[in-house]
Amino acid sequence: MTYKDSGVDIDAGAELVRRIAKMCPDVGGFGGLFPFGDSYLIAGTDGVGTKLKLAFDLDKHDTVGIDLVAMSVNDIITSGAKPLFFLDYFATGALDVDKAEKVIAGIVEGCNQSDCGLLGGETAEMPGFYPDGEYDLSGFAVGSVKKEALVDGSKITVGDKLVGLPSSGVHSNGFSLVRRVLAASGSTMADPCPGTEGTIGDALIKPTVIYTRQVLAACDALEVKGAAHITGGGFTENIPRVLPKGKGYGVKIELGSWPVLPIFKWIQENGSIEEMEMLRTFNMGIGMMLVMDAESFAKLEEGACDIGPYYVVGEVVEGEGVEYTGSME
């Protein structure tokens, strides 16, 4: 089973980005840069995707707002930007005030975790446009970073280390494939999730980790040369986005250097999904990747800053793309 089988074509998405880049050459990073005095404003926008379908099925609406904030904020902090403010867009066919309040409470919590302000947003009621009881979400985040502190990958070189920060689970990408696996396996979200104390639904609905504190702490104390938010496209598509163009650099990932979460093992086994497809679709337990040289890594090991748990998962090498060695646990 593949992501494309579930209706999502990563290659088509990459082709669209290439075409857009011909019209807008600055497109392609995790966040958009706008010069503003001695700083850059960094902007990002995203949604929650078909994870919302699980929220509808579980009738659990208090965490998808955290996901919404996380997807945009985690993009802009890859530039070293401090999140400033967030806007949301909530659209539904018929407004359920209680349900909408739960969603917005999650957005407020996500903004609190990001240390940014929720300025407002738009609530759109569009009868006949959405199925009964369903809604869609979009979010928009803006941050700021001094020009001399911008993290843009330009200083990355061979031998730099890839430091991975753990995810909480699937986060908010790959759910079209997850839903297909659920249907094919005959399992329900109420079934136990092997390797955990909860259900499959519990594991899947966990909100996306917001990495603001960890990433900004690393940027303040160390020389972080690049950062990649591991979203749709997994390691294979996202890590190359931060490498300097035209230098012939790739990365080597050592599979088995971090623990793969039980939910990913369940997805792979029940969907008969090949390892490379998993790595191209899901975060596999690493939600944010930092690139730093040996000197900065030594400082990290010595306690120069607290970024919580981390794993050295690979390094920058000569070559193109992502090379994998070893095997997943």
Q: How many structural domains does the chain have? A: 2
CATH number, domain with residue 21: 3.30.1330.10
Shared domain check, 172 and 128:
no
Shared domain check, 313 and 183:
yes
The pTM of this model reads: 0.93
Q: How far apart are CA 220 and CA 213, in angstroms?
A: 11
| Residue 297 belongs to domain spanning | 161-326
Residue range 135-183, pLDDT digits in tens: 999 999 999 999 999 999 999 999 999 999 999 999 999 999 999 999 9
Where helices occur in 124-174 by DSSP H, the ranges are none
In a domain, 155, yes or no: no
Secondary structure element (H or E) that encloses residue 291, with its range: strand 286-292
Q: How much is the mean pLDDT over the chain? A: 94
- The pair phi, psi for residue 281, each rounded to 5°, is -115, -45
Shared domain check, 71 and 96:
yes
Among 89, 114, 149, where does a domain finish?
A: 149
In a domain, 156, yes or no: no
Shared domain check, 74 and 25:
yes
Return the HEC string of 118-176. Answer: EEEEEEEECCCCCCCCCEEEEEEEEEEEEHHHCCCCCCCCCCCEEEEEECCCCCCCCHH
State yes or no: pLDDT of 200 exceeds 80: yes
Weakest-pLDDT range from 26-30, 131-135, 184-188:
26-30
Shared domain check, 118 and 239:
no
Among 96, 116, 149, where does a domain finish?
A: 149
Q: How far apart are CA 75 and CA 70, in angstroms?
A: 8
Q: How far apart are CA 187 and CA 71, in angstroms?
A: 28
State yes or no: pLDDT of 27 exceeds 70: no
Q: What is the mean pLDDT of residues 106-113?
A: 98
Shared domain check, 272 and 310:
yes
In a domain, 2, yes or no: no
- The pair phi, psi for residue 112, each rounded to 5°, is -60, -45
Where helices occur in the chain by DSSP H, the ranges are 10-23, 51-58, 64-76, 97-114, 175-185, 200-205, 212-221, 234-238, 262-271, 275-281, 294-301
Shared domain check, 191 and 64:
no
Model pLDDT, residue 7: 65
Q: How far apart are CA 57 and CA 23, in angstroms?
A: 40
Q: How far apart are CA 156 and CA 249, in angstroms?
A: 9
Q: How far apart are CA 217 and CA 215, in angstroms?
A: 5
Model pLDDT, residue 12: 74
Among 149, 178, 204, where does a domain finish?
A: 149
Residue range 253-308, pLDDT digits in tens: 999 999 999 999 999 999 999 999 999 999 999 999 999 999 999 999 999 999 99
CATH number, domain with residue 169: 3.90.650.10
Q: What is the mean pLDDT of residues 11-34?
A: 74
Model pLDDT, residue 259: 95
Shared domain check, 116 and 180:
no
Written as one letter, the residue type at 164 is G
Q: How many CB atoms lie within 10 A of CB 26?
A: 9
Written as one letter, the residue type at 297 is F
Are the beta carbons of 137 and 285 closer than 8 angstroms?
A: no
